[in-house]
Amino acid sequence: MGRLDGKVALITGAGSGMGRATAKLFAQEGAKVSVVDWVEPNARNVAADMNNDGGDAIAIMADVSKAADAERMVKDTIARWGRLDIIYNNAGIGPVNLVHTMPEEEWDRVLNVNLKGVFLGCKYALPELMKHGGVVLSTASVSGIEGTNGLPHYCASKAGIIALTKVIAMDYAQYNIRANCICPGGINTALNETYRPKDPEGLQHWWNATNGAHLLGRQGEPEEIARAALFLCSDDSSFITGHAIPVDGGFTVGHRMIMQSGYGGEPTRQK
């Protein structure tokens, strides 16, 4: 038996990266899955792969920042399977910019997709979850816990997700609804590629610095986030709600200092 047998899950941003890995894992664990993405071919391809592997999935094109799309993705899920048990608000964007050069439209777009998108997903999913209980999961970030240079709008949106998650956990526990968020560190996804320098020397420096910022000496893979999402959406985490869970290879454990020669506490890097 799978850990999500009989459950219906809606996952946004499921056409690629962490969302795609999570959708496929949820299906393997018995869930019926709505694969939601604003790039329709990506959603269709992922859903087709899942169905070919014996899963039960539908593809839904939606811009999570638009109320009509958010309402429709929930309605389409209910129309297909008659219920909703899990919503995983995973869709997000994160262009690099500085406050004094950022167009107002860019700030609005990032906040609308990343934070308003979580609000809208919850707004339309919660009435269904309130009927029988369920799980709200969202993708925040280590950048919502600590600041990240060059990402003021992204950091603000992810910090907002953490606070919103706590309030949802408090307000809806009476309906047997749990709410948590995952805070990934550096993960090898298409979004992460946007931060990488194009020249070989700069790219190598970026890899060295980024990997070194994680205690485990590497970035994470989408499948590692998927396994954390499975834990938080299954009964294995039945007594966990209202928390931001770092899945970050030790990125946010603390600041590392350069110590004198012979210091024995230097972390071992995995290659």
Considering the candidates 88, 124, 154, 172, report the single residue annotated as catalytic.
Answer: 154
Q: Is 172 one of the catalytic residues?
A: no
Neighbours of 224 (CB within 10 A): 18
The span from the CA of 242 to the CA of 42, in Å, is 31
Helices (H), the chain: 17-28, 40-52, 67-81, 104-111, 117-129, 152-172, 190-193, 200-212, 222-233
Structure-token pair, residue 178: 């749990």
The span from the CA of 62 to the CA of 207, in Å, is 33
The span from the CA of 1 to the CA of 49, in Å, is 21
Structure-token pair, residue 171: 């307000």
- Residues marked active site are found at 154
